[in-house]
Chain A
Amino acid sequence: MFLNLSDQNFEETIKKEKLVLVDFWTEWCSPCLILGPMLEKVAEEYKGKIVFAKANLDENQIAGGKYNIDRIPSIIIFKDGNPISGFIGLRPESEIKEWIEKNIQPKENDGKQ
């Protein structure tokens, strides 16, 4: 299931959840319409590991501006409210999964003071 983010709940959501993948999209961007269903499928496999969310860039200019989203689809993974990795444009499903795997693995110093 995808969370729908808006300028109002964006910051609160990415800080509240440990790991959030955000898909910045718009209704008229064809690559976004191809990537969206692919991510929905991938989201099913990562349930409980990372939260999937989408933000319509036409309606959420503040979040788009803050994270310098100038092209779409733009996908960013946030960890504890901070962007840690991202990509722009279409990618094959296998590559997206590899990228997610790489970014959800706990780092050696995670949780240490």
Chain B
Amino acid sequence: MENNEIEQIIAEYAEYAQKNGFRLNPNKETIKTLAKGLLENEKKYGERYCPCRRIIGNIEEDKDKICPCEQSHEEIKKNGQCLCGLFLK
């Protein structure tokens, strides 16, 4: 896994967070681990699925787990962060 791939994914999600009124977790280690998980899932399943959800291998059933996932907005609003802690309020 290349470092520049990880940095690129982090930059993409930071931009997404800013556009949506929340922020990326400031802990570099946390977001690097999550970025590796997202890239690992992309290589394994073809999509950047959330590393904190179980992927069952069915495209239709797994589609709402693609990061940023459908549940993340509600989780950020309710808990101050998404399930994985990638995005914070």
Please list the residues of chain A having a beta carbon within 8 angstroms of any beta carbon in chain B. 26-33, 57, 61, 64-65, 69-73, 89
In the complex, what distance in Å separates the CA atom of A62 from the CA atom of B86?
A: 27
Q: Taking the complex as formed, is B85 at the interface, i.e. its CB lies under 8 A from any CB of chain A?
A: yes
Q: Name the B residues within 8 Å of A26 (CB-CB).
A: 37, 51-52
**Cβ A72 vs Cβ B85 within 8 A:** no
Interface size class of B (residues with CB under 8 A): 10 to 19
Q: Name the B residues within 8 Å of A72 (CB-CB).
A: 52-54
As a 0/1 sequence over residues 37 to 63 of chain B, the CB contacts with chain A under 8 angstroms (1 = contact) are 110110000000001111010000000
Among B29, B31, B56, B84, the residue within 8 A (CB) of A29 is B84
Among B30, B53, B54, B56, the residue within 8 A (CB) of A30 is B30
**Cβ B83 vs Cβ A71 within 8 A:** yes
B68 nearest CB across to chain A (Å): 15
**Cβ A30 vs Cβ B83 within 8 A:** no
